[in-house]
Structure formats: structure tokens, C-alpha cells
Amino acid sequence: MVSSSDSEDDRLRGARRVPPNAPPVPKKTYIIKNSTMQKRKMQCSRWMRNKWFIAGMSALILLIILAIVLGVTLGKKSPPVHVEPVHLMWWQNATIYRCYVTSYADSDGDGLGDFKGLQERLPYLKDLGIDVLWLSPIQYTNTVTGTDVTDIKSVKVEYGQLQDFRELVISAKLLGIKVIMDIILNHSGSAHTWFKESQSSTPSFKDYYIWSKGKTGSDGKPLPPNNWVSMYNGSAWQWSDLRQEYYLRQFWKNEPDLNYRQPQIIQEMKNAANFWLDKGVNGFHVRDAAFLYEDAQLTDESQLGNTQDYASFSHNFTRDLPESYQAINDIFASIMMPRLGEERILLVEANERVMSDERWSQTYQSMTTNVLYKLNSTFDGLQLKALVNQSLEAFNKTRSWPTWTLGDETRSRIYSKFNQLAIGLQMIQIFLPGSSSIYYGEELQFTNNAAIKYGETVDTAAQEAGPINYSLISRDPFRTPMKWNSSRHAGFTSAENPWLPVNNNDPTVDNLKSRSNSLWNTIKDMIVIKKTSLALTNGTIDFPIVDTDIFSFTRVHAWNNTGFLIVWNVGSQRKTLSFYNTTYISNDMTVIRKIKTEGSRT
């Protein structure tokens, strides 16, 4: 503690460890005391290696380090080392926009989003700074929201025709936006010709799926062959009256798992991927990659809990088998080679078991990770650092490039889960090593639409749950239509009713774009900063101060001796910080942005 009777200079010397023979400290010091969003110099004595400022509660501060001495590796007196910047693929410096097509823009007035509507809104993505448009499942299914693919080389009829899709891709490329798409490998729909033929035991299709006669109960009735459960609880085995056998379905009963021990399945999927590449896509995101293979002996899973739900089993025999990732390699290794110099990207979902083993790194250049979303709704700086560190170490081990994700169409909106802490999560994922992604509406602080009634519910699983339990499992609340303006249905559609009700609590694009300190404009500015900085695209990361309230990290690049310091106060109180012991942080720093956007916690 510094006594209140000390002189101002003495207090500064004692608290900030200024050398005793140092000249007087300037009265205007390096302490940020307000929430201005303008650039402001932090003025420091040349004797002061400590860097002090006040971090407002729940605020995130971005500073640029102007004259870095690389003390971590070279020592503070060592000369800077000239390091040539590493060439990055286009996707390694990309901001990716994950679009749920059904909810984005309706061009024909049927209440459903479509390719032409999305095409008309591409300039919006360009304005935001988006490099890659990532499309939700577009392959033909029985329901617009489903993943029960019935034709792997056609599009959902609600979205338009293949030519409409082709025109969307061409228009995106003219704006400098790449297009990637979800591709579903694990299963088909039960209405697919393959399944119908397999169910009928047609020889050429008989083994396209995983079938078992099961066991016989004491009453003579058939029972599932083992204790495997589906992702949505209940047995993973579905009885077929026609074939008199069980088929495996790790998800829904209308999504039978394909049998990747049948070589023809590999070839079918290779043909499908080639088909979409010929239509102009720049790559794929492989959904449910962990589930492609299961134990051939159908061994029972170990039960970890007393219930029969999915979380109570080990899943050592039903997911993350090495063969699953080898199958991905077999499908994509040859076809993902660049054509005419254009590199392609293959995204695969990462998880803890995948990332702990070097064997998983093969064809896929990037792995998506949602570890930030896995945080509890309230968290501290230490928990955040542990998750980030663990992920970065795993990505380094597997030699794959991280793509950070937060929300998607299968889980709660981040602003409903984290409230205003979601702002900080969005910012730090932009500045962490790797690529960042935005689920449509996150740039507008979209929340779950809890007002959707049972009669308005479209999610088939929620419909089956009935009017009492539908809201417990419905995914409709985080798939509501994009809000463009203040017109009827927020400019999403001219139909009498959109496919889902618009969330009246969410802001519109026009509203947020018009305000300079809105989240939309903040994200846009941060994307520009990342794209123009070697430190943020190619630099190292360090965590100078992390505790329960503070999460800070630096991004430093040795080539031009510049970098960034990002500080986030995740706590509820203002806090004064000193970076005295961090010798590679410069004495002179410019505050690029103090991010405390409209609506954030005060």
C-alpha cells in the first residue's frame, strides 16, 4: 500500500517501481480513465517499463505495441531478428460467416430464405469484411431444416435450383468471397434410394448401411444388438419391418448411418464432393466426422452413469475411431488439390479426443473448435486461459489450423447463454491465432426467440416432443429470420408469415450499421485491424496477466517488431493493472479501441 501522505511523484515511484534516480514522472500518465473510443497515446517516462491502466469492468481494451523488444526469446537488450512473414493460405487469414440459408433472405415471397435472396445480400457481407461464406446444409432433404439427405447431388427445393446456387457462388467470387458448404457424410435420409434398396436387400445396396438381426428377448421379440444410444437418447438401433433387422442411426430415426466398411460408400462420397467442387465451392465442412465408423463387433459401451442418456456412456466404440478420419482422408485427399492455383479448404470438427492424438492430422487443413462456447455462462480469466491454451497446444500438436466458432444452428445463441460476456468472446476469437467465424446474427447481438409457440414450431424433434416439452429441445429459437430493416417481418420476406416468427427483441442491420459505436461497426473495425497486421495473422501469443478478473494476451510478430495487447476485464469491478514485468511490451502504446459497445454491461 502507498501512504496517502506521500507526494504524487513518490506514490508513482513506489507503486510503479521507478528507479530512484529517474527524472520526475509526467503528470499526464498512461492511465486510461474514460471510455472514449478515440485513439489516445499512453504517455510514459522512458525509465518506466511498467505499463499501467485501469480496466473498466466487463470492458475489453485493444492496444498496439509500438516498439517491442522481444524479451521472451531474445532478452530485452538483444537486437531484433528479421523474420520473413510466413505465407498464409487464403483461409488462414479469413473471417468466416456461417449462414443458415432458410433464415437469411427470401426472394420469392414463400417465407423461406433462398439462394437468390442470399445473393442479393452479398454486398452486406462484403461491407462487414467477410472472406468466406459458410453455408448450412443445402443438399436435398425431405424437410427444409433436416439433414436427412435424399439426393447428395441436388439442392433443397425451397432454396432454388442448382443454377441459382451456381449464380450465388459466381456472385460471391466477384466480390472476393469464397463459398464453402456443409457436407453430410455420416448418414443419408431414410427416403434415399440407397436406403430403400438396402432395406429391400437389393444385392448391390444391401451393405450400404449397418444392419443387425439383434438379440431375441425372453418373449421371443427382437431386441437391439447392444446398448448403444443415439445422440438424442434412446437406442441407436431402429427396427425395419421390411428387412426384419435393426439399422444403426446415431442421430434421428430417419437418418440411417452409412456403412463405411463398404468401399462403394467412399466412392459415392468422393463423387459427390467432386460434383460440388465443379459447381464452384472452395471447400467443405464435414459434419459429424467423428461418427463415420463404429466398432465392427458391436461391443457394448461402458456405462459411466446410472441413467440411459447419451452422456452416461463412454462412446469408445461409436465415435472418434481412427478409421473415421482415415475415411475422410480417402475421400478428399486427391480431390482437394488446387485447380488453376486456387487453394481449397476442408474443415473438420475437432473435439478433445481428436485433438489429443497426432494421428488425426491428415488431409483436413483446419479444424473447427467451439471450446469458447463450452465455457459456463459465467467464467473467469483463468478458466478462459486454460481452455485457450489447451486448444492451441492441441492444434500445434496436430499441425492443423484453428477455426474458432461460437454459435451455430444447433445450440443456443451466445447472447442468450453468455449475455454481454459474449461481446468479449467475439472479440478475442478474432485476435486469437487462427481463423474466426460469425454465426449469422451474432454481429447484431441476436438472442433466442423464446416466444415461439408450439403451433409455430418447425423443428420436427420439438414437434414430436409435444406441447409441454417442445421448448426443451427445439432449435427454432436460434434459427429465427435475419432482421434487415424496420419494415414488415424486418425485411426478411414479403410473405404473409415467415417460416419462423421474427424475434422482436433483436435489432436490425440498418439500426446497428448507422451507429458508430455499435457491435456491428466494432466487429467490422476489428476485422480490418486483423487483416492488416502481421502480428495478428502470423504472430506468437503470450498471456502476460491472467487472473480471475483479467484475461490478457499479446500477439507479437518479430519481422516488424510490432504487436498487440488485448486486455479483457471479465469481472464486475474496475481494476488497475501493471505490465511492469512484461519486458517485451513497449513503454509507448496507442489505444486502438476500448470496446464497450452499446448495451454492454456497465
In the prediction, which pLDDT does 156 show?
A: 97
Ranking 181-190, 258-267, 470-479, 576-585 by mean pLDDT, the lowest is: 576-585
CATH number for the domain harbouring residue 227: 3.90.400.10
Domain count along the chain: 4
Q: Output DSSP code: residue 313.
A: B
Q: What percent of the chain has pLDDT over 90?
A: 63
- The C-alpha cell at 285 is 465442412
Domain boundary among 525, 544, 570: 525
Task: Say whether 402 sits in a helix, a strand or coil.
Answer: strand
Structure confidence at residue 349 as a pLDDT band (50, 70, 90)? confident
- The percent helix, strand, coil of the chain (3-state, each to 5) is 30, 20, 50
Q: Where are the alpha helices (DSSP H) in 339-380?
A: 352-355
Answer yes or no: do 364 and 506 share one domain.
Answer: yes
Model confidence at 62: pLDDT above 80 = no
Ranking 10-19, 420-429, 500-509, 512-521 by mean pLDDT, the lowest is: 10-19
Answer yes or no: do 145 and 71 share one domain.
Answer: no
Q: In whole angstroms, give the CA distance from residue 404 to residue 68.
A: 27
Question: Is the residue at 34 inside a domain?
Answer: no
Host domain of residue 210: 193-248
In the prediction, which pLDDT does 595 show?
A: 77
Answer yes or no: do 168 and 317 share one domain.
Answer: yes
Q: Where are the alpha helices (DSSP H) in 279-319?
A: none
b/e 554-575 (16+ beta carbons within 10 angstroms → b): bbbbbbebbbbbbbbbbbeeeb
Q: Output DSSP code: residue 482.
A: P
Structure confidence at residue 506 as a pLDDT band (50, 70, 90)? very high
Mean pLDDT, the chain, whole residue set:
83
Question: Is the residue at 295 inside a domain?
Answer: yes
Answer yes or no: do 348 and 419 share one domain.
Answer: yes
Answer yes or no: do 433 and 539 share one domain.
Answer: no
Structure confidence at residue 305 as a pLDDT band (50, 70, 90)? confident
Mean pLDDT, range 468-494, rounded to an integer: 97
Answer yes or no: do 98 and 69 share one domain.
Answer: no
Question: Is the residue at 499 inside a domain?
Answer: yes
Mean pLDDT, range 349-378, rounded to an integer: 74
Domain boundary among 525, 543, 577: 525
Residue with cell 444388438: 225
In the prediction, which pLDDT does 488 show?
A: 96
Answer yes or no: do 366 and 460 share one domain.
Answer: yes
Domain boundary among 479, 510, 525: 525
> Which residues touch 26 (CB under 8 Å, ≥6 apart)?
43, 44, 45
CATH number for the domain harbouring residue 309: 3.20.20.80
pTM of the model: 0.86
Structure confidence at residue 77 as a pLDDT band (50, 70, 90)? very low
Handedness of CA 492, 494, 500, 504 (dihedral sign): positive
Chain segment 250-284, per-residue pLDDT in tens: 999 999 999 999 999 999 999 999 999 999 999 99
Question: Is the residue at 600 inside a domain?
Answer: no
Answer yes or no: do 7 and 129 share one domain.
Answer: no
Chain segment 95-112, per-residue pLDDT in tens: 999 999 999 999 999 999
Answer yes or no: do 150 and 226 share one domain.
Answer: no
Return left, alpha or beta for 441; rule: phi > 0 is left, psi -120 to 50 is alpha, else beta. Answer: left
Mean pLDDT, range 234-248, rounded to an integer: 98
Answer yes or no: do 146 and 207 share one domain.
Answer: no
In the prediction, which pLDDT does 113 show?
A: 98
Is residue 375 within 8 Å of 384, Cβ to Cβ? yes
Mean pLDDT, range 237-255, rounded to an integer: 97
Model confidence at 45: pLDDT above 80 = no
* Most confident among 79-93, 137-151, 158-172 (mean pLDDT): 158-172
Ranking 50-64, 98-112, 344-358, 543-557 by mean pLDDT, the lowest is: 50-64
Model confidence at 158: pLDDT above 50 = yes
- The C-alpha cell at 279 is 459447381
Model confidence at 177: pLDDT above 70 = yes
Q: Where are the beta strands (DSSP E) in 258-344?
A: 283-287
In the prediction, which pLDDT does 577 show?
A: 83
Measured CA angle at 409 (ends 93, 453), to 5 deg:
150
Question: Is the residue at 218 inside a domain?
Answer: yes
Answer yes or no: do 512 and 546 share one domain.
Answer: no
Q: How far is CA 151 from CA 155, 267, 459, 577, in A?
A: 8, 15, 21, 58
Looking at per-residue pLDDT, the higher value among 576 and 560 belongs to: 576
Question: Is the residue at 234 inside a domain?
Answer: yes
Structure confidence at residue 355 as a pLDDT band (50, 70, 90)? low
In the prediction, which pLDDT does 574 show?
A: 85
Looking at per-residue pLDDT, the higher value among 400 and 412 belongs to: 412
Nearest to 214 by CA among 237, 190, 241, 242: 237
In the prediction, which pLDDT does 240 show?
A: 98
Model confidence at 399: pLDDT above 90 = no
Model confidence at 120: pLDDT above 50 = yes
Mean pLDDT, range 202-231, rounded to an integer: 96
Mean pLDDT, range 454-480, rounded to an integer: 94
Answer yes or no: do 169 and 279 share one domain.
Answer: yes
Model confidence at 127: pLDDT above 50 = yes
> Which residues touch 290 (CB under 8 Å, ≥6 apart)?
319, 320, 324, 349, 351, 354
